[in-house]
Copies of this chain bind each other. A is one copy, B any other.
Amino acid sequence: MHPTDEIENESNYTPAKYRTPDGAPSDIVMFTITSEDKGTGKKALPDRKLEVLLIQRKKWPFEGQWALPGGFSDENESMYDCARRELMEETSVADVHLEYFNVYSEPNRDPRGWIISHAFFALVHERYLADRKAQDDAADVRLFPVEEALAMELAFDHGRIVRDALERVRAKMRTTTIAKEFLPDEFTIGELYQVIRTVVPDFEEPNFIRKITSTRSRYGLLEEAKDEQGKPKQSNRYSQRAAQLYRFTGFVPELSIYG
């Protein structure tokens, strides 16, 4: 039991005499999907890669090693506010998907002391990271393809954190509409399918377009994009033949393993 629990009331309350944590930082696994033109001359869907942002440490501990962006919270902000602030410092955007997913508190996980880290993942559209890309490897902040990041020896327990984040994002990719974080408001079925497969490589649905338009549409997951005259909007950005544009409706179906 904690010492402060022995205190009877506010008037004679004294702060804890025992050891307290040395810090409560938040760390952010920032995912983005980069697109690169296939360069064949023909119109085609771009090559997409799931990438994660890492920072090279300049100080002890783990000097020189790559780590997740993050920083210590102060007593006037929640962990979520802290994470949003850190995200803002890295990407200069505030309105991206940011979600808490786990706490990391194993003893001695940080040689600086008793430090309990709160891990978030962020899904950032590549347009927000355009500068980052230009700077490239010269900088101490870089995007790494996830497989590459997973194979690296990261600072602290950040390797574990990246693995956990990826697992969580993959699960949510299947079961929610977070794919929209990586897509424009209006997109083609081909783009949607490609984004899902970029995050979840073993997602395969040969009849994807049919399922999502002729069956699930009954439940309102997607709706066709229309122009002012109410005519269906199409795009030929990625194909010779124009494709119908869709948008998410905001509806998320309930899932159950029992029926």
Contact = CB atoms under 8 A, between A and B. Distances in A.
A1 B59 CA distance: 13
A258 B211 contact: yes
B23 A175 contact: no
B174 A258 contact: yes
Interface residues of A, number: 67
B100 A24 contact: no
Contacts of A116: 24, 79, 116
A81 to B, nearest CB: 9
A258 B212 contact: yes
A78 B59 contact: no
A111 B107 CA distance: 27
Contacts of A63: 9
Contacts of A100: 102-103
A174 B20 contact: no
A259 B211 contact: yes
Nearest to A9: B60
Nearest 3 CB-CB pairings of A with B: A2-B72, A9-B60, A75-B114
